[in-house]
């Protein structure tokens, strides 16, 4: 059996930042011949298709009619309209297919209601580092997804990074933490670099130092299994330099600001339903 024959067709409706990141991750495992792309602006899908060596379709209905795994990469506010447009193509199918939702704030029943039928659904909450194979994605399968279908889905997305299954009640906050978190971390990296520049480092050097430090620190948390607080304590020597920086951050409400940012994003996510 050829590599192409092993895989079903994966279709992406919407090739924005998140849809594009997942398509790139999928391409690490899946042949281009098995990937279809569509976008509101065809030229955007065509550019990504040329990069990945796959096909760009002129409309969403073509992806809906052909792909076995249909990734829905439109904004939550546009999901009902898009699903209404492709509903005739879905109804006309006699083969099995799975809808893969990557929009925030929507659960499995939301998707089924908008699509007009109890189709098999995988709710996927990815993040942008999936584009370089360092993502943290959360997923939940509807009860009618088979173990084989779930296993194939996970194998296809191995190139995106880590995947974790969560129950429905935790998907929203898990998706906010993993999905919004990169923006918060990017702000932290930028602020660290600004501090370095203020003290004389060239901008490019400061950014590289800050970004690699954050990547390495995150890797140490995952690989060591130690609590972040313990790792922080290991850097803070008594009367040393680091603890004075920690003191200044705490005085400015650093941890409280981060907690409030997560809660604000979670509350906004809930308002989208």
pLDDT in tens, 156-215: 999 999 999 999 899 989 999 999 999 999 999 999 999 999 999 999 999 999 999 999
* pLDDT confidence of residue 91: 95
Asked if 73 contacts 12 with a C-beta cutoff of 8 angstroms, the reply is yes
Measuring CA to CA, how many Å separate 235 from each of 16, 189, 230? Answer: 40, 19, 9
Taking the C-alpha atoms of residue 140 and residue 100, their distance in angstroms, rounded to an integer, is 10
**Residue whose tokens read 């990937």:** 35
* pLDDT confidence of residue 4: 59
Question: Where residue 104 falls among pLDDT bands split at 50, 70, 90?
Answer: confident
* pLDDT confidence of residue 1: 46
* Per-residue pLDDT reduced to its tens digit, 20-33: 999 999 999 999 99
Listed residue (28, 44, 24) closest to 131, CA to CA? 24
DSSP 132: G
**Segment 2-8 mean pLDDT:** 73
Q: Say yes or no to pLDDT of 59 above 60.
A: yes
- End-to-end CA distance of the chain: give it in Å, rounded: 44
- 221 or 6, which is more confident: 221
**Segment 10-17 mean pLDDT:** 94
Measuring CA to CA, how many Å separate 155 from each of 107, 151, 254? Answer: 23, 6, 39
Q: Does 101 belong to an annotated binding site? A: no
Q: Which helix (H) or strand (E) holds 125?
A: strand 121-125
DSSP 139: E
Taking the C-alpha atoms of residue 38 and residue 58, their distance in angstroms, rounded to an integer, is 7
* pLDDT confidence of residue 270: 83
Asked if 261 contacts 168 with a C-beta cutoff of 8 angstroms, the reply is no
Return the number of other C-beta atoms located less than 10 Å from residue 157's C-beta. Answer: 25
Q: Does 189 belong to an annotated binding site? A: no
Question: Where residue 269 falls among pLDDT bands split at 50, 70, 90?
Answer: confident
| Cα 116 to chain centroid, rounded | 26
Listed residue (190, 186, 152) closest to 9, CA to CA? 152
Taking the C-alpha atoms of residue 195 and residue 249, their distance in angstroms, rounded to an integer, is 13
Question: Where residue 267 falls among pLDDT bands split at 50, 70, 90?
Answer: very high
- Residues recorded for the chain: 273
Domains of the chain (ranges; CATH) run 3-165 (3.40.50.720), 175-271 (1.10.3730.10)
Listed residue (217, 27, 111, 47) closest to 10, CA to CA? 27
Q: Say yes or no to pLDDT of 138 above 80.
A: yes
Q: Does 17 belong to an annotated binding site? A: yes
Q: Does 13 belong to an annotated binding site? A: yes
Mean pLDDT over all residues of the chain?
Answer: 94
Asked if 82 contacts 72 with a C-beta cutoff of 8 angstroms, the reply is yes
Q: Does 18 belong to an annotated binding site? A: yes
Separate counts of helices (H) and strands (E) for the chain: 12, 8
DSSP, collapsed to helix, strand or coil, labels residue 4 as helix
């Amino acid at each position: 059996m050829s590599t192409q024959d092993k895989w079903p067709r994966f279709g992406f409706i919407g090739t924005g930042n998140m849809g594009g990141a997942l398509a790139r991750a999928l391409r690490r495992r899946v042949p281009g011949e098995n990937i279809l792309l569509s976008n509101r602006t065809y030229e955007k899908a065509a550019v990504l298709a040329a990069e990945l060596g796959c096909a760009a379709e002129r409309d969403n209905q073509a992806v809906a009619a052909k792909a076995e795994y249909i990734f829905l990469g439109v904004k939550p506010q546009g999901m009902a309209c898009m699903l209404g447009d492709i509903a005739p193509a879905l109804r006309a199918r006699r083969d099995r297919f799975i809808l893969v939702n990557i929009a925030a704030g929507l659960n499995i029943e939301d998707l089924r209601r908008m699509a007009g039928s109890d189709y098999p659904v995988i709710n996927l909450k990815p993040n942008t580092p999936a584009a370089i194979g360092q993502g943290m994605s959360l997923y939940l399968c509807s009860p009618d997804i088979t173990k084989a279908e779930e296993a194939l889905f996970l194998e296809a997305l191995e190139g995106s990074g880590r995947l974790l299954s969560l129950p429905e009640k935790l998907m929203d906050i898990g998706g906010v933490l993993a999905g919004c978190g990169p923006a918060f971390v990017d702000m932290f990296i930028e602020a660290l670099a600004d501090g370095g520049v203020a003290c004389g480092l060239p901008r490019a050097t400061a950014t590289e130092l800050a970004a690699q430090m954050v990547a390495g620190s995150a890797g140490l948390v995952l690989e060591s299994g130690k609590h972040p607080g313990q790792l922080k304590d290991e850097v803070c020597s008594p009367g040393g330099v680091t603890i004075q920086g920690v003191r200044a951050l705490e005085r400015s409400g650093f941890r409280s600001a981060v907690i409030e940012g997560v809660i604000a994003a979670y509350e906004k996510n809930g308002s989208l339903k």
